[in-house]
Amino acid sequence: MTKHYFSSRESSDFQPIYFSFPFRELNYSWIGSRGVFSSKAFDKGSELMLNCFLDEHAGLKGARVLDLGCGTGVVGVLLALLNKDILVTCSDLSTAATICTIKNAQNNQVQGKVQVTNGY
């Protein structure tokens, strides 16, 4: 059976891929991994969804957000970074994806606001 980016993967599958991208006038350095969705660039769908959420819910306070199928954590980590008053839970079936998310939360200093779980 062929593995897809949504297949369960072992932590040994984590092979870092470093990239950067601009978002809302800032540049971010990011870590992806082979087999994890959008590991070489900030995908347009995530960018659109994140922009819509931030525009619609500006000033949201005390909310908890679930990023299910978080991949590299770009949506959850940026939400936590750009909105100081929310907590985010990021979850993915792929261990490589959750490793990426943990590292990206640490690199962006929001690990206290982003909980990462492996599995659904």
- Return the residue matching tokens 């993967």: 9
The pLDDT tens digits for 1-49 are 455 545 454 556 899 999 999 999 999 999 999 989 889 999 999 999 9
* Predicted model pTM: 0.87
Distance CA 33, CA 40 (A): 8
The pLDDT tens digits for 79-106 are 999 998 899 999 999 999 999 999 999 9
- Tokens matching residue 44: 């347009």
Alpha helices for 18-70 (secondary structure H): 44-56
The pLDDT tens digits for 52-84 are 999 998 777 889 999 999 999 999 999 999 998
Distance CA 90, CA 52 (A): 19
